[in-house]
Amino acid sequence: MKRYSVFAIAREAMRYHMGWERAWASPEPKPAYDAIIVGAGGHGLATAYYLGKNFGITNVAILEKGWLGGGNTGRNTTIIRSNYLQDPSAAIYEKSRSLYETLSQDLNYNVMFSPRGVMMLAQTHHEVRGYLRTQHANALQGVATEFITPQRVKELCPILNIDGPRYPVLGALWQARGGTGRHDAVAWGYARACSAMGMHIIQNCEVKGVRSENGQVTGVDTTKGFISTKKLGMVVAGHSGQLAEMAGFRLPIEAVALQALVSEPIKPCMDVVVMANTVHGYMSQSDKGEMVIGGGTDGFNNYTQRGSFHHIEETLRALVETFPIISRLKMLRQWGGIVDMTGDRSPLISKTPLGNCFINCGWGTGGFKAIPGSGWAMAELMAKGEPGPLAEAFNMWRFKDGQFIDESVAAGVAH
Ligand SMILES: Cc1cc2nc3c(=O)[nH]c(=O)nc-3n(C[C@H](O)[C@H](O)[C@H](O)COP(=O)(O)OP(=O)(O)OC[C@H]3O[C@@H](n4cnc5c(N)ncnc54)[C@H](O)[C@@H]3O)c2cc1C
């Protein structure tokens, strides 16, 4: 694989850009692989990448029923932060955030990580207490966050109305090294690096069944035929319940649509990410100038993968209250993704009742930020057959044992 560099751009500019290679290969599947990952979203691709990079396992296929990055990875609002409350969450999200810091160099692909700072507004006294608690927990966990005053909020984000009609801003939990990244680029960068290691990314290849013998996985039936494998990683977000059913077990998980929208592009007016969880809306500005706006989840389980009108109204009502200057903005696009929600709003990175079949899901409304860390932990689990310290607490039996990792406040729908 040719390295991307300023010299490569200059060289290609001289020859009308005719010398660029395809970023990843599109091979037909082989009959067998050492490991198969189902789902070429960010988490599946990152798992494959760290299997190769950290454990030298490269005879790997990543099977994707649509196009790579076409699930939630290409549909999210790209917020990256690690200010969670519980120790296992802070550990994996901070690992992930720290991997994002150097991901562009690591993958030789610009993922546009922009640590512009993320603030979560406190608009009730209850929220103030909650975020102070998170700030203290983060201090013990080594995650750099601080609780800032309304005046500092206004300095950092002048377009914000801190004297809101219903809920004045009482402060905010601020993570200066949180921010955003380019979602497609994260998927594309990992895909290119996996392909360069000789892994096979097979798009338009849906897994329809999981085969096993004596309690061990032996392969998968796909729309491109049977493919055998010794290790299977299921990384399909909102479709995890369906894959689990194919493998003969049930997951403590629900699938639900989550929505977002973007406005027409405008001049730069906001260089931080703001989340207003009481009124429920969050917003950042993309490099193109569009205001990127996150909405809520549907109140019922579904696989629709599209937006709906009542969310536009609810979300924009909340945001106009928080940012009055957007009241005359035109909205350009709206979409939805199918997110995978567990009862404690924490993920599963786990062995399963089927031998050598592993699951990574449950990232729900907030897994874009977790892609590098989750891939790192899942690769360790698949390579060694046992979870490492990052994944240990996220096993699927915690619901049976009552060992919840409750992030319902940090991860309900806020990202
Ligand atoms: C509107 C919205 C906004 C969000 N905002 C944020 C945010 O700001 N910050 C944040 O951290 N997170 C956010 N998220 C959550 C984040 O997008 C997800 O947690 C994350 O992208 C999940 O990645 P994944 O790789 O697990 O899943 P996906 O990207 O969904 O990938 C799973 C893949 O599996 C494939 N698949 C499914 N079934 C099969 C099968 N049978 N065979 C083969 N392939 C199959 C799918 O086609 C899909 O491509 C948001 C999500 C949405 C929908």
pLDDT, one tens digit per residue, over 17-29 is 999 999 999 999 9
Say yes or no to pLDDT of 95 above 80: yes
Say yes or no to pLDDT of 409 above 80: no
> Does any ligand 1 atom lie closer than 6 A to the CB of residue 366?
yes
365 CA distance to ligand 1 middle (Å): 9
pLDDT of residue 410: 64
pLDDT of residue 46: 98
85-89 long-range contacts, CB within 8 A, separation 24+: 85/133, 85/134, 85/137, 85/406, 85/407, 85/409, 85/410, 86/137, 86/346, 86/405, 86/406, 86/407, 87/137, 87/141, 88/346, 88/392, 88/393, 88/394, 88/405, 89/346, 89/405, 89/407, 89/410, 89/411
pLDDT of residue 288: 94
> Does any ligand 1 atom lie closer than 6 A to the CB of residue 354?
no
Q: Which of 67-81, 198-212, 301-315 is least confident? A: 301-315
415 CA distance to ligand 1 middle (Å): 14
Nearest CA to ligand 1 atom 21: 73
Q: What percent of the chain has pLDDT over 90?
A: 90
pLDDT of residue 324: 94
213 CA distance to ligand 1 middle (Å): 30
pLDDT of residue 310: 79
238 CA distance to ligand 1 middle (Å): 7
- 137 versus 410: the higher-pLDDT residue is 137
pLDDT, one tens digit per residue, over 59-78 is 999 999 999 999 999 999 99
Confidence of residue 413 (pLDDT cuts 50, 70, 90): low
> Does any ligand 1 atom lie closer than 6 A to the CB of residue 43?
yes
Mean pLDDT of the chain: 95
Confidence of residue 305 (pLDDT cuts 50, 70, 90): confident
Say yes or no to pLDDT of 213 above 90: yes
pLDDT, one tens digit per residue, over 252-261 is 999 999 999 9
pLDDT, one tens digit per residue, over 318-360 is 999 999 999 999 999 999 999 999 999 999 999 999 999 999 9
